[in-house]
Amino acid sequence: MIQIGDASYRLDDPLTLAALGFAVLVLLLLWQAARGARRAARLSEPVLQHVSHLSARVQNLSDGQERLAGGLHHVSEAQTTSQTAMLEMMERRLAEVQDRMGETLHGSARRTAHSLGQLRERLQSIDKAQANITKLSSDVLSLQDILSNKQTRGAFGEIQLREIVTKALPPDGFTLQATLTNGRRADCLIHLPNPPGPIVVDAKFPLEGYEALMQAEGKEMRARAAQAFRMSVRKHIRDISARYILEGETADGALMFLPSEAVYAELHGNFPDVVREGFDARVWIVSPTTCMATLNTMRAVLKDARMKEQAGAIRKELAALYGDVERLTSRVANLDRHFGQAARDIEDIKISADKAGKRARRLDQFDFEDLETPVATPGRVLRLGDPAE
């Protein structure tokens, strides 16, 4: 008999035995289950730790994801802000570029308009220059027409000589188209003093020979042209020497004026024998430049001659000036002597006035004891108050 609580059970009862067996079985099962649970707990402890670790890592990953989401949101906002700022900056830059391009285009248009205006003015100047060139061409053609004639060419040389002479010499220092005693008329006669005396300047222009020489082709043609040019110049030298060098009337030499520097350079560069012949004939060849230099020298000679002519008058005026200076010196000495006498008289007057003032002060103070007794002078009556001297 088993007493369990208020109930009692018999051991020989099959139901009781079955219940006891069942209970034992249940206990065994529970013990096995508890043992398996402890074993499972022991086995699952690393898993649980790993799961806990994984949970922590999952939590960290979740937190990192949240932070990443926050960072991405911040980055997105910053990127949005940066994009907005960049867009604004780009818009400002574009606006500035547009403004600068507008200013540049406006300045370019203004400069282009100014350049076009200057180009228009230059084109107008070119048109004027073209008109002047056309006129000059016609003048050159007319000059060629003039130089093609010997008489007009001679007149051209005379006009050029007249311009040079009138600029270099005084009006009374020369005579144009002067007639000599042999009946020859010189282009210009310069009135130099003796010696050397009046000298003739005659204009010659051997243009045909020079042009033939310049246009000659080939050695033979050039030799013939050079010989013709040489003969032409020699003829001019002989004519001037025979016509314009007159003993007792003109200087012992004359000038041949070539109105062309090119002809003068060709003559002195390639025909020195002709130049020496001119020296031997006492005919000196000059160009416009050398003629001006020669005339300037002659002007100095004329000025020196006029100074010598006026030397007598200058001496006379100097003598009169010397007399005036002597009289002035004497009168200044007299004036100085008068001033000295006046200064001494003024000094005496000051002394007398000082003495008179002293006596007047003594009389005003009744200081008669200090007054000296006047000394009687024959022929003079002294009164009280009269100076002793």
Going along the chain from its start, the domains and CATH numbers come out as: 158-308 (3.40.1350)
pLDDT at position 381 = 43
Residue 379, pLDDT above cutoff 60: no
231: CB partners within 8 A, 6+ apart = 209
341-357: pLDDT as tens digits: 888 888 888 888 888 88
Instruction: Please tell me the distance from the alpha carbon of residue 252 to that of residue 195, in angstroms, as a whole number.
Output: 9
Which of 19-23, 259-263, 358-362 ranks highest by mean pLDDT?
A: 259-263
User: Burial of 189 by CB count in 10 Å (0-12 exposed, 13-18 middle, 19+ buried)?
Assistant: buried
232-261: pLDDT as tens digits: 888 989 998 888 888 888 888 899 888 888
Instruction: Please tell me the distance from the alpha carbon of residue 361 to that of residue 163, in angstroms, as a whole number.
Output: 94
Alpha helices, H only, the chain? 14-148, 150-168, 207-215, 219-244, 261-270, 272-280, 288-309, 311-365
273-300: pLDDT as tens digits: 888 988 888 998 888 888 888 888 888 8
Instruction: Please tell me the distance from the alpha carbon of residue 153 to that of residue 291, in angstroms, as a whole number.
Output: 19
Q: Average the pLDDT over 140-153 and give the result.
A: 48
The CA R_g of the chain, rounded to the nearest whole Å, is 70
Q: How confident is the model at residue 311 (pLDDT cuts 50, 70, 90)?
A: confident
Listed residue (186, 187, 228) closest to 207, CA to CA = 228
Instruction: Please tell me the distance from the alpha carbon of residue 191 to that of residue 251, in angstroms, as a whole number.
Output: 10
Residues in the chain: 389
**Beta partners for 189?**
175, 200
Listed residue (168, 165, 195, 194) closest to 178, CA to CA = 165
Which of the pair, 367 or 186, is modelled with greater confidence?
Answer: 186
Lowest mean pLDDT among 6-10, 12-16, 71-75, 372-376: 372-376
Q: How confident is the model at residue 141 (pLDDT cuts 50, 70, 90)?
A: very low
177-196: pLDDT as tens digits: 888 888 888 888 988 888 78
